Structure 1
C-alpha cells in the first residue's frame, strides 16, 4: 500500500474533495506496474473540473462523452487523464457497477484511503480475476474477452464462478462490435501467454463463439502424418510458434540479425493469430482418396479467404489483413520447397521466387512453417527434424537474398535491351528484366556482361517455340 500513500497529483485542487483514483491506474499501482494513464471519478458535475485540470496541466481537453455518459480526456505532456462522473449515489455504488474486482477499487485522494467494497485487493494478492456481479457480462459482453486479456497480461487465473459464467454467456459475444473484440484479442496476442489463454478460451467455448469458422475443425481428422485433429493442431501451432519466437535468438543465433532486419519480433502477434486460422479451410477441402488417404487440396487458399472474412468482421486494419492473408495463403510453400529439395529438383531460383513472391513476410512464413510442423505430434519424426533444418537453411538464404537486394542494383535495364540487343520495346521487357533480376538475386549473375549474355541465350532458346 506504500505506493498509494505516496500519490501526488500537484494539478489537483487542494483539498481534492470528491475525487477518486480508480480503474486501471489503481490496479497497475497495486500490481507493481507503471500506469499508462490516470482514471479519475469525480462526485458531481465534471465539466468545470475537467477544464480546470486541463489548465493546470497545460493539456488539451477532449470531450469523448456519449449521450448519457460524460467523459473528458486531458492529454498533456505529463499524463493522459480520463475524468468521469460518479455513477450512483456513492463511490461504493459506482464500484459495484464495474466489471472485475481488481478494477472495482477507488483511492480517496483527500482522505488518502483505499475503498475496496468487492474484495479486489484480496483477489489481486491471490492473482484471481473475479466478476463483481453475476450480471457483469450481461451489461457488457466485451468483458467476456477482457477477462482473459487481464489473465494473460497479469498472469492471473479466472475464479471458477467467473469461468462458468463466461461459458454460460459466451453467445453474447455475437452482439459486440468486431473492433472491440479485436482490441482485446490483440492485447492477448501481444502477451507471452497467448497460447495458454486461447486454450482456456477454447475450453469455455468462447474461442469458437468468436471464431465460429473454427467449429468444423473440431474432430476433423487429418492424414497419417498428423496425430491431432485440425482444431487441436491449430492450438498447438500457436503454442509452438509462441515458444519458438521466445527462444528464437538462442536456438538460431546465426539468424538473430536476419530476424531483426525482417521485423520478426514485431510480427509475433499477427503470426500467432495466423497460426490459429492457418488451417481453418481444411474441413471445407477435406477429401478421402480411394486408398483411404486424407487430403486437403487448396486448403491454404481457402483458409486465407475465410481469414479475410473474419478480419473484416473484427475490423482489422488493411495492413493487418494483408499480413495475415499472406502468411496463411503461403504457409505451405516452405514444405513444397522442402519436397523439391528432397527430390533434387530445387534450384536457387526456386528459393528466390519464394522470397520475391512473399517479400518481407518470407522469413515470418518460414518460422510459421517450423511451428506448423512442430505441432503435428507430441514429438518430431526424423522427416520433421529434416524440415526444421531445411527451414533454417532457407532463412539463412533469405538473409543473403536481403543483402543482395540492399547492396546491388539491377544489372541491366530496358535501354540495354534496345541498344545492346536491338530489341524493340514490348511488354516482354518486364518479363526479361524480372528473370535477369531473379538470377542476380540468387547469385547466378553478377555483372552487366553476364546479364546480357544470359538474355541472348534465353532468347535463342525460346525462339524455336515462338516460331512454332
Structure 2
C-alpha cells in the first residue's frame, strides 16, 4: 500500500469516501502509486485540511469551479486529490469519468469494487476504452490523455476510442496550455515514446499540440543524411533514449547515465529534457532550407531553432529553466561537430567550447552524440567515430571543470587597473577573459605571469 493511501485511510477513518480513478486501476495492476484520488460527499476542504495536519503536508484548492483540493506530502513525496462526489452517487460519478479503467471505485476503508463500465475486464484485455464520447467532448484533452495512459501502462487504445479522440483533437486548442504540457511531457518521457508520437499523429493530436514537429515531414536534407528532418528528429529522440538507458551501446561511459538521471525542472530529468531538445533542435529547418552550389543547406537553423524552442516551451508554459536548457542545447548542437576538423584539440579550443556551452557543456556534448548517431548518410561510419573521439574529450574536460569548480583568478580586475594600467571598461573584461583562457592553456601560471600578459594585451 502506498504511503499516500495509508495516510488517507488513517486520517479519514469513519468518513464516507471513495478511492477512485488511477489509484484503483494501479492497485489492480499491482503498481504502487503516490497519486491518490478521493471522491467525497460535500465540500472536501475539511478532509484535505485534516490530511495536511496529520501528515505535515500542504493543502490547497485546485479548482473553485469543481471544488477540488490537493494535499501535497512533505518533500512532494506524494499527493492526494479530493473532489466532491457527483450527485452524491458513486455510480453517477463514475459515469462522468474518461476511460473505463479510470471509472472504478472502492470504499476508502476497503470493500467491494464498483465497476459499472467493465474497467477490470478492459485492464485484463490491456485496453484503453472511453466510458462515453461525451467525456471527450467535455474535455478534449482526454484525447491526449488516452495516448499518455496507453504508452505509460503498455495498453492499446480501442478503435472507437481512437476515432473519437481524432474527432475531438482540434478542441485541445482551447485547453489551458499548462494542462496540455502536463500530458505531453509524460508522453515524451515514456519508454514507449515513439509509439505515443505515432498515435498522436494518427489521431491528429500532434498538429494541434506540437505543430512544429508535423511541419518537419518531407523536408529533405543533404546526402550526409539518410532521412528527412522529421524522421531524423525521431531517430535523434531514439538515440537520446539509448543514452539514458545504455550509454555504452552508444560509445560513451556509464557516467552519462548518472548525469541524465539527475532532476532538472518541470518534473523532468536531464535526459527527459534532452528529449525535448531532440524534438526541437531542427525545428527551424523548414524556414532556413536553401541550396548552395547544388547542396542543401540550413544556414542559421541553430540560432533560429534556439528561439523557436523558447517560443514552443513558452507556449506550453514550461519553466524558464527548461526553456533555457533546451534553447542552449539547440543553439550549440553543431559546435562539437565542427571541432572534428580541429583534431587534435588544443586546450584553447576546448576552453572556448566550454565557455560557449556553459553551464550545460556536458549535456550539450551528449546531445551531439545522439544527433550524430542519427545522421547516417554518406561517410557516416568514420564520421561517427571521429565525433565520438571529440565528444569523449569534451566530456572529460566538462567533468573536470565541474568537479574543480571555478578557479580563483590569478589577478582581480581592480588589480589590473592599478598594477597593469588596464583602463576600466569593456577592454578590462576582454583581458580578464583572455587571461582565463591563457591560464587554461598553461601559458600563464603565476600572478606575475598574469600581470605581464595583461600589460601586453593593454598596449
Q: Match for 2:341 among 339, 342, 351?
A: 339
- Please name the residue that 1:93 is paired with: 92
Q: Show structure 1 runs of 5+ residues with no match.
A: 464-468
Distance 1:231 1:144 in 2: 23
Q: In the TM superposition, what whole-angstrom CA distance separates every residue of 1:3-23 from its partner, at most 9, and x where no partner exists?
A: xxx999233343x55x32101
Query: Does the C-alpha gap of structure 1 residues 257 and 158 become closer, same or farther in structure 2, counting only changes over 3 Å?
Result: closer
1:220 deviation in Å? 0.7
Cα distance change of structure 1 residues 96 and 416 upon mapping to structure 2, 3 Å threshold: same
Moved more, 194-203 or 118-127: 194-203
| 332-341 vs 178-187, greater mean Cα deviation | 332-341
User: Match of 1:300?
Assistant: 302
Question: How far off is 1:330 after superposition?
Answer: 1.4
Quote the offset at 1:170 in angstroms: 2.0
* Contact 2:72/2:78 (<8 A) preserved: yes
From the superposition, tell whether residues 260 and 48 of structure 1 become closer, same or farther in structure 2 (CA, over 3 Å): closer
**Cα offset for 1:195?**
3.7
Decide whether aligned partners of structure 1 residues 425 and 308 sit closer, same or farther in structure 2, where only a CA change above 3 A counts.
closer
| CA shift for structure 1 position 338 | 1.9
Deviation of residue 394 (structure 1)?
1.7
The match for 1:108 is 107
Partners of 2:57 and 2:72 within 8 A in 1: yes
Give the secondary-structure state (helix, strand or coil) at the position aligned to 2:81: strand
The C-alpha deviation readout for 1:328-371, integer Å capped at 9, x for no partner, is: 11111111222333xx7x53222211211221211111111111
C-alpha distance in structure 2 between counterparts of 1:257 and 1:28, whole Å: 28
Tell me, in whole angstroms, the C-alpha distance in 2 between the residues paired with 1:306 and 1:76: 36
Matched residue, 1:356: 355
Tell me the TM-score normalized by structure 1: 0.85
**Structure 2: runs of 5 or more not aligned:** none
Over aligned residues, Cα RMSD in angstroms? Answer: 3.2
Correspondences of 1:307-456 after superposition (within 5 Å): 307-341=309-343, 347-377=346-376, 380-406=380-406, 408-456=407-455
The 1:258–1:56 alpha-carbon spacing in structure 2 relative to 1, beyond 3 Å, is closer
Aligned to 1:11: 11
> Deviations for 1:392-437, whole angstroms, at most 9, x for unmatched residues?
222112223334544x321122244245434444431111111111
- For the 8 Å contact 1:258–1:399, the answer to whether it is kept is no
For 2:85 and 2:126, locate their aligned partners in 1 and report how far apart those are by CA, in whole Å.
27
1:97-142 deviations in whole A, cap 9, x for unaligned?
Answer: 1111111101034671001111211222233222221233211111
Partner of 1:287: 290
Q: 1:81 offset after TM fit, Å?
A: 3.6
Post-superposition Cα deviations, 1:229-249, rounded to whole Å, max 9, x if no partner, equal 111111111111111121126
Correspondence 1:172-187 to 2 at 5 A = 172-187=171-186
Q: Which residue of 2 aligns with 1:42?
A: 40
Length-normalised TM-score, structure 2: 0.87
Cα 1:375/1:75, change in 2 over 3 Å? closer
How many corresponding residue pairs?
A: 448
Distance 1:58 1:275, change over 3 A: closer
| CA-to-aligned-CA distance 1:140-180 (integer Å, 9 cap, x gap) | 11112222222232232322332333233222221111111
Partner of 1:381: helix, strand, or coil?
A: helix
Given that 1:432 and 1:455 are in contact with CA atoms closer than 8 Å, whether structure 2 keeps it comes out as yes
Asked if 1:71 is matched to 2:68, the reply is yes
Instruction: State the SS of the aligned residue for 2:133.
Output: coil
Residues 108 and 258 of structure 1, relative CA distance in 2, 3 Å threshold? closer
Relative to structure 1, the CA distance from residue 254 to residue 210 in structure 2 (aligned partners, 3 Å threshold; closer, same or farther) is closer
Shift in Å, 1:185? 2.0
Contact 2:244 2:260 in 1 (8 A): no
Taking the TM superposition and a 5 Å limit, the aligned residue runs for 1:193-208 are 193-208=192-207
Separation in structure 2 between the aligned mates of residue 254 and residue 9 of structure 1, nearest angstrom: 42
- Contact 1:45/1:85 (<8 A) preserved: yes
State the match for 2:147 in structure 1.
148
CA contact under 8 A between 2:261 and 2:271: conserved in structure 1? no
1:269 aligns with 2:272: yes
Give the CA deviation at 1:62. Answer: 3.6
Q: Which deviates further from its counterpart, 331-340 or 275-284?
A: 331-340
Change (3 A) 1:44 1:440: same
For residue 387 of structure 1, give the secondary structure of its aligned residue in structure 2.
helix
In the alignment, the residues of structure 2 paired with residue 244 and residue 184 of structure 1 have an alpha-carbon distance, to the nearest angstrom, of 24
Deviation at 1:449, TM superposition (A): 3.1
Output the CA distance in 2 between the equivalents of 1:443 and 1:168.
65
Q: 3-state SS of the aligned residue for 1:10?
A: helix
Larger-gyration structure (1/2): 1
1:466 is matched with none
Q: Determine the C-alpha separation between the residues in 2 that align with 1:57 and 1:435.
A: 55
SS state at 2:359 partner: helix
Q: Is the 8 A contact 2:260 2:271 kept in 1?
A: no
CA distance in 1, matches of 2:312, 2:153: 28
